[in-house]
Chains A and B, each alone.
Chain A
């Protein structure tokens, strides 16, 4: 990290932090850095900042760094941190809220795979009303460029009758479309 003026950053991001508190119902300011969340986090090894550090960064207003972090993208929402936090902060919920905000702002950061996954998934549900797994896998592999990911599982799945080659379309697709259109309209 380069040199920074914390007071100035704080001022710039006050509004964002207020919104974050409102949307998540959680206040990172309550964190006293005991690191219990980090100690129990099963995915800390793959993150760029441990969860307790994300809390500290939020306290200091380092919003851009947090939104761009891999941590926010790869948190598995297992809520081990939430279960153990002595300050009763729902850290998993905070991570979730941050992920949604990042997605809406088009911040992909180090989470390109996640971005492609969520977009492909939501499109599949929009078109069929249900998830079309083969389409999802294809879209994902094309979108991320990992063309061979999980292709070893295709045949075993198929042999167990677990893959349907064609999508299933529900009857109420017009209702699903209404829900998507409305979401777009209200921007949520």
Chain B
């Protein structure tokens, strides 16, 4: 299956390990990753906070470029980028006025788009079954953290999972052999969108999530969302400093754990890019 791939600014930089592990597991799982030619930033939360047209037009240009690759499916692993592209494709197909504006701006005709736009969990959900597991994640106690952007609001973005108690990641992690702990913060917002503008709020929200993970007995948090992962991992040192806590909980992308369970070596999965080093934990469980 050919998949049009939008790394976005995050996977190109601060969430590199998601990019690395995404690509590493895709090949063996039968996914042919085709990076979208000359992609641009989708404008993130800034475009949709400031300009109705740009919040559509920036991601729409990527959708148009992606259609030239002949892929049937499209993904933007960052949930914020995913939402922007999902909505841009919908407007491209269903909102003639916006499409007309875009054509006026670019000075050329643009076509409708019929790629299936999938979020990062959807891409791998049906590909993970017991046949791919070479090294089960035995003894690894995890909580799955979906964050808000992938599942809320329900139905809007064509994702099927429950907005308050989603199951897709849980199912993946169980298949990989990890011990999945149930906890109440699966979809609690970590405040990533406020991390530059209202840091106190972000720190508190993320602290609460880490505390809940710890209290639930998790050794690691499994993340699917780039923004959540970055908050819990990169900012864990800031949180420890601010609240005088001593959290040392790795926040690992589910794609990295899929790779480990498939028997792909750790150095091909970007584990060294994480801020809270997961290797001591993984080594203690003989998973490395």
Report if A and B associate in a common complex.
yes
A51 to B205, CA, bound (A): 18
> Main secondary structure on chain B at its contact with chain A?
helix
Which residues of A31-59 are within 8 A (CB) of B?
Answer: 42-43, 45-46
Contact A131 B50 (CB under 8 A): no
A39 to chain B, nearest CB (A): 13
Residues B84-123 near A (CB distance < 8 A): 101, 104-107
B194 x A178 contact (CB < 8 A): no
Q: List, in ascending order, chain B residues with CB within 8 A of A183's CB.
A: 51, 53-54, 57, 105
Q: Is the CB of A79 within 8 A of B49?
A: no
Within 8 A of B (CB), among A97-127: 99-100, 103-104, 111, 113-114, 117-119, 121-122, 124-125
B interface residue numbers (CB < 8 A to A): 9, 12-14, 16, 38-41, 43-54, 57-58, 61, 101, 104-107, 148-149, 152-154, 163-164, 187-189, 191-194, 196-201, 204-205, 234-235, 237-238, 272-273, 275
Task: Tell me if A188 and B46 are in contact (CB < 8 A).
Answer: no
Q: What's the nearest-Cβ distance from chain A to residue B171, in Å?
A: 21
Chain A residue contacts of B164, Cβ below 8 A: 83
| Contact yes or no, A188 B40, CB < 8 A | no
A100-B52, A183-B53 are known contacts. Are A113 and B189 too (CB-CB below 8 A)? no
A114 close to B153 (CB less than 8 A): no
Q: What is the number of residues of chain A that contact chain B, defined by CB distance less than 8 Å?
A: 60
Q: Which residues of B contact A92 (CB under 8 A)?
A: 153
CB atoms of B41 and A129 under 8 A apart: yes
Contacts of B53 in A (CB 8 A): 179, 182-183, 186, 188
A90 at the A/B interface (Cβ < 8 Å)?
yes
> CB < 8 Å: which of A46, A77, A150 contacts B198?
A46
From A3-11, A12-20, A61-69, A152-160, give the one contacting chain B.
Answer: A152-160
Q: Are B16 and A162 in contact (CB under 8 A)?
A: yes
How close is A133's CB to chain B, nearest CB, in angstroms?
6
Q: Is there an interface contact between B14 and A80, defined as CB atoms closer than 8 Å?
A: no
On whether the beta carbons of B201 and A43 are closer than 8 Å, the reply is: yes
| B52, B107, B163: residue with the most chain A Cβ atoms closer than 10 Å | B52
What residues on B are CB-neighbors of A172 within 8 Å? 38, 40, 61
Q: Which of B14, B43, B149, B201 meets A46, CB within 8 Å?
A: B201
Q: A125-B40, A133-B13, A170-B38 are in contact. Are A99 and B52 (CB under 8 A)?
A: no
Q: Which residue of B lies closest to A178 (CB)?
A: B105
**Which 5 pairs show the lowest CB-CB distances between chains A and B?**
A78-B189, A182-B105, A121-B46, A78-B148, A131-B9
**Complex interface: chain A residues within 8 A of B237 (CB):** 152, 156
A125-137 interface code vs B (CB 8 A; 1 in, 0 out) = 1000111010000
Nearest-neighbor residue (CB-CB) of B191 within chain A: A76
Instruction: Return chain A residues, CB-CB under 8 Å to B52.
Output: 100, 188
